Every structure is written in C-alpha cells, then in structure tokens.
C-alpha cells in the first residue's frame, strides 16, 4: 500500500490504477491491476477523469478535406458498407494529430496548439498563445519541421477547425509532402489521439487548480512543465509501461 500511495502523490494524483500498476511492475512488484484498483478504492485514491473541451469549429469554409484514417469495410454477408478508424502505426512520424484547446483562468485565456505522434504519444511540438490565430499554427508547424526535415508521406489529422481549412495551412503541408486529413464533422473520435491528451493534461494539472494560477505567466509555466513531464516521465499505457519519450 505504501508504494501505491507514494506513486499516487508523486504524480500529483494524476495516475489511475492502471498506470500505478504499470509503475509497480517497473519497480519489480507483480500486482494485478484489479488488486491495485481495489486497494486504491479502499484508500479513496482516484485518478483524474476527463471533462469537456473547447471547440474551434466555425463552420465549413470550403477548405475541408477527407479523413485519410478511415478504412472502408464491405460486409458482403449483411450487404452493407461501413468505415473503421485506422490509428495503427509501425513507426514514429507516420501519423500525427493536432488541435487547439483553451485554458481559462481569472487573469485571461491561453490556447494550446500541440502536435502528437500517434505511434509513441509524444508531443512533437506546440505553441501556447493568448489568441488562437493562424500565426500560432504556423509556429507549431515550423517547430516540427525544424525537428524533422523529412516528413514526406506523413498523415496529419485535425478536426475541421477554421485554422486547418485555410489555404495557407494546406500549402504549408503540401510543400513538405504531408498528407492532410480531417475528422468528420461532429465526430471527435476521429481525432481521439489529441483529444485524449487534452483530457489527461487538463484533468492532471488544470481542473481544480484554476484559481491557483494568479497570472497567465504562471499558467504558461505550468503548461510547459506538464508537457515536459508528459514527454519524459508519464507512463503511456499503449506502450505497456515504456516511457512516453521513446
């Protein structure tokens, strides 16, 4: 029990039973995740849970593109055709996802625009701005380009937000050989990789702490520290306990 408590508070109450079970395994303890869940329940230790997100959709500006992460399934037996999302990857820089999320405190608002790699869940690049404008998107993209010179064939998924419908955005990606993809209207699951990240981040460092940040500068520092923590320390369940920075 002491190990569970230590992990829980070391990660600022961010970890649920699955991640604590993975951390215990990393430390050499063979404990079933169901037992960890039961022990945490007895001690009233609960990980943060997701809340609603900010929406950037402003309508169709004639700049939408098809969702390139959908696979068509033809069911001949039942005479129907449907689509399944394909988030599978074999390497980094194969499929990325991006979106913008709002962080609102008494002192004002900050907008976070990150890119996440669907393979290892790393935040590739990001921009934090007081305004969700196109300059923010360009800065984020340019940081990613500086980090990786050859991204030809990469699929970059987003929602149908106004930023991603702009001709300038289409051009930036096209010049690098990046395939642009958009989720279907009103279907947030098509862009679930970045949505899940926002949910984790807000529940682990923001919700319940809004009044702790007295200025936008304090909030910005906390956001930057969390992204550093996420990329270098936070356990990614998909990787079965491998550090998210791999």
Tens of pLDDT along 176-234? 999 999 987 766 677 889 999 999 999 999 998 888 999 999 999 999 999 999 999 87
150 burial via Cβ count (<10 Å: 0-12, 13-18, 19+) = exposed
Task: Using alpha carbons only, give the angle 134, 106, 48 rounded to the nearest 5 degrees.
Answer: 85
**Can you read off the two tokens belonging to residue 54?**
């900010």
pLDDT of residue 244: 44
Q: Which residues of 152-179 are buried (b: 16+ CB within 10 A; e: fewer)?
A: eebbbbbbbbbbbbeeebeebbeebebb
pLDDT of residue 100: 95
Determine the Cα–Cα distance for residues 219 and 206; give it in Å rounded to an integer.
Answer: 9
Q: What is the pTM of this model?
A: 0.72
- Give the Cβ contact number of residue 109 at 10 Å: 15
pLDDT of residue 204: 92
Write out the DSSP string of 151-215: -TT-EEEE-S-HHHHSHHHHHHHHHTTPEEEEPPTT-GGGGHHHHHHHHHHIIIIITT-GGG--S
pLDDT of residue 240: 53
**Can you read off the two tokens belonging to residue 245?**
């920075």
pLDDT of residue 92: 95
Beta bridge partners of 75: 80
Task: Using alpha carbons only, give the angle 117, 118, 122 rounded to the nearest 5 degrees.
Answer: 40
What residues of the chain score a pLDDT lower than 50? 241-246
Identify whether the C-beta of residue 40 lies closer than 8 Å to the C-beta of residue 8.
yes
Three-state DSSP at 230 gives helix
Write out the DSSP string of 17-75: HHHHHHHHHHTT----HHHHHHHHHHTT-----------------S-----TTEEEEEE
Determine the Cα–Cα distance for residues 226 and 234; give it in Å rounded to an integer.
Answer: 10
């Amino acid at each position: 029990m002491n190990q569970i408590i230590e992990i829980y508070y070391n990660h600022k109450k961010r970890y649920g039973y699955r991640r604590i079970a993975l951390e215990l395994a990393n430390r050499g303890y063979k404990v079933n995740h169901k037992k960890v869940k039961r022990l945490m329940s007895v001690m009233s230790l609960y990980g943060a849970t997701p809340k609603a997100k900010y929406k950037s959709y402003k309508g169709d500006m004639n700049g939408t593109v098809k969702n390139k992460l959908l696979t068509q399934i033809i069911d001949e037996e039942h005479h129907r055709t449907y689509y399944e999302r394909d988030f599978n990857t074999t390497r980094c820089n194969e499929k990325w996802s991006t979106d913008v999320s709002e962080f609102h405190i008494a002192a004002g608002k900050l907008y976070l625009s990150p890119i996440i790699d669907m393979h290892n869940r790393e935040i590739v690049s990001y921009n934090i701005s007081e305004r969700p404008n196109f300059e923010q998107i360009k800065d984020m993209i340019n940081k990613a380009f500086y980090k990786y010179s050859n991204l030809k064939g990469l699929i970059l998924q987003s929602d149908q937000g106004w930023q991603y419908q702009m001709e300038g955005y289409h051009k930036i990606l096209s010049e690098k050989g990046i395939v642009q993809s958009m989720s279907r209207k009103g279907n947030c699951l098509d862009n679930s990789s970045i949505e899940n990240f926002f949910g984790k981040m807000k529940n682990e460092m923001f919700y319940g702490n809004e009044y702790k940040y007295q200025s936008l500068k304090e909030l910005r520092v906390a956001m930057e520290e969390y992204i550093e923590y996420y990329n270098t320390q936070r356990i990614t369940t998909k990787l079965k306990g491998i550090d998210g920075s791999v």
